[in-house]
Amino acid sequence: MKYSKILIIRLSAAGDIVLTFPAYFFLAEKIAGAKIDWAVDERFADLLGLLPGLNKKIVFPARTLKSPKTSYASKIAAAWNFIREIRREKYDLVIDFQGLFKSGAISFLSKASVRAAFAPGGHDSREMNHWLNNKIISVPEGGPLAAKIIYRSLYLAARASDETPPAEYTMKRLVEPERGNPKITSFFDEIKGRGRADKLIVINPFTNWPTKTWPADKWMELIKLIRRDDKLKNSAVAVLWGPAEKEAAERIAASDELSFISPPTTFREVFGVLDGADAVISGDSFALHAAFVLNKPAVAVFGASDPARCAPFGDRTAVVTRGLECQHCFKKTCRFATEECIKSVDPAAVLEALRRVV
């Protein structure tokens, strides 16, 4: 069947949206002439500006629906306007990459003739999502990439659109950051003004889970090790940060004269900072996945989440993880109240991984 109007549903979060970029590019290449739209949470809509050829963003009014200050009548109106906008487009294919009840409801209410989604089980599909879609796709297990979110999303996109799934993933740069942003340009000029930096290492110490967040003192110890390393000692270090993280970022950067905190950035502007990096070090977060689609060398520091599913891959990536028996539980809160899986990662191991990818 030839599809002419396709809706991608991947509302959130930032990292998961980025991990769906390869599926978008697959659809755009394989179904020439199709109009592809994307339903996205308003908090992350900025990211979709990186996608050439995207026909339209359909913005889910998450802030309105979650705000306690918004009346029920206003919430109902906002939700209905969102669904009405989707229905107006008369999609012949909707692909639900989110795999939750909310995304399934959006897919169902779209009235599209084909509504594709993952088969239930694991992290791909939960909350009865498969009951709300009508083309349910199981991803075969086994193989080096079968567990990866990127590959599973590519497989879903291919089977949903009646195309042949790729046998492997070709490593390449997928997006181009905005050029000439004065905020980003000024930041790089500040680094160059110090004179002696010969490389730029961008670190992202922050994630949205305590069990994925490597402690600040470990980051500071890593920077000290970088300064003593013959290969890396003249590297500048840029510290990324987001809302409520600036003070912690400043504390990490203050420990070293060649370390800088990034300017405040939108999600899209983070790509501009990462684009200037010779290497990126991060936990399981949006910044790590952004580095991957930019094809940047990266070191991934993993705790509770499973690198087999979530980590970047390829020759330009190294993963550092403890491999404890309880690890990769995928829980925001440690059941032992120790967060040992992430807190005990050795900075020396991260340095060694960095040396391999730079």
What DSSP assignment string belongs to 187-237? Answer: HHHHHHHT----EEEEEE---SSGGG---HHHHHHHHHHHHH-TTTTTEEE
At residue 197 the predicted structure's pLDDT band, cuts being 50, 70 and 90, is: confident
- Mean pLDDT for 4-33 is 97
Please state the rounded mean pLDDT for residues 201-227.
97
Please give the C-alpha separations between residue 29 and each of 32, 96, 161, 169, in angstroms, as whole numbers. Answer: 6, 19, 12, 15
**What pLDDT is recorded for position 245?**
96
Dist CA 95 CA 106 (whole Å): 11
The whole-model pTM stands at 0.95
The more confidently predicted of residues 30 and 194 is 30
Instruction: Please compute, for residue 277, the number of CA atoms within 13 A of its CA located in the half-sphere on the CB side.
Output: 34
For the chain, where are the E strands, in sequence order? 5-9, 35-41, 56-60, 93-96, 114-118, 135-137, 199-204, 235-239, 259-261, 279-282, 298-301, 317-320
- Lowest mean pLDDT segment, chosen from 19-28, 112-121, 161-170, 283-292: 161-170
Q: How confident is the model at residue 194 (pLDDT cuts 50, 70, 90)?
A: confident
**pLDDT at residue number 246:** 96
Does the structure show a pLDDT above 80 at 71?
Answer: yes
What are 79-97's pLDDT values in tens digits? Answer: 999 999 999 999 999 999 9
- pLDDT bin (cut points 50, 70, 90) of residue 38 is very high
pLDDT per residue over 260-273, tens digit each?
999 999 999 999 99
Domains for the chain: give ranges and CATH numbers: 5-160 (3.40.50.2000), 182-357 (3.40.50.2000)
What is the percent of the chain where pLDDT is above 90? 91
Mean pLDDT of the chain: 95
Tens digits of residue pLDDT in 132-146: 999 999 999 887 788
Instruction: Mention every residue, 6+ apart, whose C-beta is less than 8 A from residue 139.
Output: 118, 119, 124, 146, 151, 152, 155, 156
pLDDT category of residue 63 using cuts at 50, 70 and 90: very high
- For 58, the 3-state DSSP assignment is strand
